[in-house]
């Protein structure tokens, strides 16, 4: 991510630089509905391999742009592919009268580090 270009395009909000969550429908895995990337270099995260909180917010974009019919809807979102840490996050949305009634985010996790903190 070109941080200088991002700062030219997006102004800080209350001193915080918003982190981009970008997505497309071109996927690597045939079972995924979206391919996503999350960058937060101003928070010390160059790229995040799996961002459940961003997927929760993404539910709103899915409903606004895809306009799913009432009832349950579910898909997988792949993330972390480019950084060699592929992940899949499942989003399930229940739609009622064109609006989100409930949303559930899930997936599988693996331990990548362990440690102890001594005080």
Multiple choice CATH, 3-107, 3.10.310.10, 3.40.47.10, 3.40.50.920, 3.30.360.10: 3.10.310.10
- Which residues contact residue 22 at a Cβ distance below 8 angstroms, ignoring those fewer than 6 apart? 36, 37, 38, 39
CA distance 98 to 68: 7
Q: The pTM is what?
A: 0.81
Q: What's the pLDDT tens digit per position in 77-109?
A: 999 999 999 999 999 999 999 889 999 999 877
Q: What's the pLDDT tens digit per position in 52-85?
A: 889 999 999 988 888 888 999 999 999 999 999 9
Closest CA to 37 of 84, 71, 101: 84
């Amino acid at each position: 991510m070109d941080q200088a270009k991002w700062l030219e395009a997006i102004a800080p909000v209350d001193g915080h630089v918003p982190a981009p969550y970008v997505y497309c429908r071109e996927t690597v895995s045939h079972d995924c509905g979206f391919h996503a990337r999350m960058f937060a270099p101003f928070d010390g995260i160059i790229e995040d391999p799996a961002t459940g909180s961003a997927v929760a917010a993404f539910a709103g974009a899915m409903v606004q742009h895809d306009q799913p019919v009432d009832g349950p809807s579910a898909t997988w979102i792949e993330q972390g592919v480019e950084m060699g840490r592929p992940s899949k996050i499942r989003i399930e949305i229940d739609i009622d009268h064109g609006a989100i009634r409930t949303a559930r985010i899930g997936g599988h996790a693996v331990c990548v580090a362990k440690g102890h903190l001594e005080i």
